[in-house]
Homo-oligomer: A and B are copies of this chain.
Amino acid sequence: MSVVKSATAFAELMAEARQTVALGQVMGRLGWDQETVMPRGSADQRGDEMAAMEGVLHARLSDPRLGALLDAAEASDAAGAAQLRELNRSHARAVKVPSALAQEIARTTSVAQGTWAQARAAEDVAAFLPTLAEVVRLKREEASALAQGGDLYDAMVDDYEPGMTGADIAAMFGEMRPRLVALRDKIMGAANPPQALSGAYSADSQMRLARDLATTFGYDWSRGRMDIAVHPFSSGSGNDVRITTRVAEADPFNCFYSTIHEVGHACYEQNVDPDYLLTPIGKGVSMGVHESQSRIYENQLGRSRAFTGWLYTQMRERFGEFGIASAEAFYGTVNRVQPGYIRTESDEVQYNLHIMMRFDLERALISGDLQVGDLEAAWNDRFKADFGVAVDRPSHGMLQDVHWSVGLFGYFPTYSLGNLYAGCLHQALRHDLPDLDRDLASGKLTSATDWLREKVQRHGALYTPRDLITQAIGKAPTAAPLLDHLETKFSEIYAL
């Protein structure tokens, strides 16, 4: 009797949950719209629309009836248990945050994104600071509600990487930093760096090749589309997963590798088991695991010697001779390490150093050790210290990323965690597919992407992030495979 009742409660719970997940997808659609096609004058109204949607979602997730159903429901299999885990997590979070605050955050961050974009275009930090201060205030208030006496930043990280803390991240960076800095410094002192790319590459031809690259990496166009955005992103789950990229005539690698990166995110969502469609586990399980997919597509596969050999022939076919004499030279050009302001344009070696800097700055902002008004100076000082270059303009400094404007504090570290996971997955992938380079060299990605779909993507949020990666690689994840890989790869390229 009790089991029957519990199974009924589970079914009722899942019917409700499907609607809630569908409404979450609607909010994702609005986010896509806002960043790609929304008229600028609609920003305030969109803020109200987002707040109304957040009010609906919050009411559903914090509903005491949902709590009662969760208490009564019994899952009959592992997938059901995972659904309950995800629902319990969402419910527990929602009941802690007042609805008015949740709505205010939705409204403010929606509008703030436009404010950030305008300030960035105008190189005007002062125009952004009041907005950023308000976002920090609201997110700290939310974190206080969530942490219930615990650490605010930990509560924020938990939203993106369940179970992870600021201390875990600090430990990860403690392991990564010395080897990355040492490698970077050796590279910067190398005698014969690879040749830089020069010339102009038509935007239309870049976009055509970008589309072909998306297809090559397995993106399903029948359930997605690609547009241009200021800040490339992937959006949506299941059967409507859209990507964006950007294009500049002088920098085709930015377009190509932004595209491959977002395809990694999108394929994770498109390849989740269709049985999980519009359910709580029908999505990527965490931001760290998500980034492991985008990063392994972009870096370990996309920037490999074998694949860049194929890309070299593609570029020569489409752009003619462009001043790089051989596939081997092109491999160096693609992987060139150089000083640069922009995180998203950074090479594999320095990328995580950008993240470490953001981690320390945002943690200080949230703890109150750093005030928003002092952020620009703190950013510029730290950048000079870490990268040896003075920031020359705000869009190359603290205005470069959208994240803080939309309240994504605690999110940046998941990028480095993703790199770490990608290193582990790549090691296991190479073990299982010893002939992988033969495929990559002819532009065939399916053996690699099939492996990733089987080991990671299809599971959605069935397992916890760490369990998922541990199962996929057969051991606990560490930073060693990533660091070993980078040292080997760049020692070859730079003849260290």
Question: Could you list which residues of chain A lie within 8 angstroms of chain B, going by C-beta atoms?
Answer: 18-20, 22-23, 25-26, 29-30, 33, 37-42, 44-46, 48-49, 51-53, 55-56, 220-225, 238-240, 242, 277-278
Contact = CB atoms under 8 A, between A and B. Distances in A.
A52 to B, nearest CB: 4
Across the A-B interface, the 5 shortest Cβ-Cβ residue pairs? A22-B52, A41-B222, A42-B240, A41-B223, A45-B239
A23 B26 CA distance: 11
Contacts of A48: 18, 22, 278
Given A29-B33, A40-B222, A42-B223, A52 B19 contact: yes
B37 A51 contact: no
A240 B38 contact: yes
Nearest to A21: B52
A45 B26 CA distance: 11
Contact of A41 (B20, B51, B55, B220): B220
A46 B225 contact: no
Given A22-B51, A39-B223, A41-B220, 11 more contacts: A18-B52, A19-B51, A19-B52, A19-B55, A20-B52, A22-B49, A29-B49, A37-B225, A38-B240, A39-B221, A41-B222
A45 B222 contact: no
A483 B278 CA distance: 54
Contacts of A49: 22-23, 25-26, 29
A45 B240 contact: yes
Nearest to A47: B22
A37 B49 CA distance: 20
Nearest to A223: B41
A23 B239 contact: no
Nearest to A270: B41
A239 B19 contact: no
Contacts of A224: 39
A160 to B, nearest CB: 24
A47 to B, nearest CB: 10
A242 to B, nearest CB: 8
Contacts of A23: 49, 52-53, 56
Contacts of A33: 29, 33
Nearest to A225: B39
A45 B225 CA distance: 15
10 contacts: A19-B52, A22-B49, A22-B52, A23-B49, A26-B49, A37-B37, A38-B240, A39-B225, A45-B278, A48-B278
Contact of A29 (B18, B30, B240): B30
A45 B221 contact: no
A426 B48 CA distance: 37
Nearest to A236: B42
Contact of A44 (B25, B44, B239): B239
Given A18-B48, A23-B56, A39 B278 contact: no
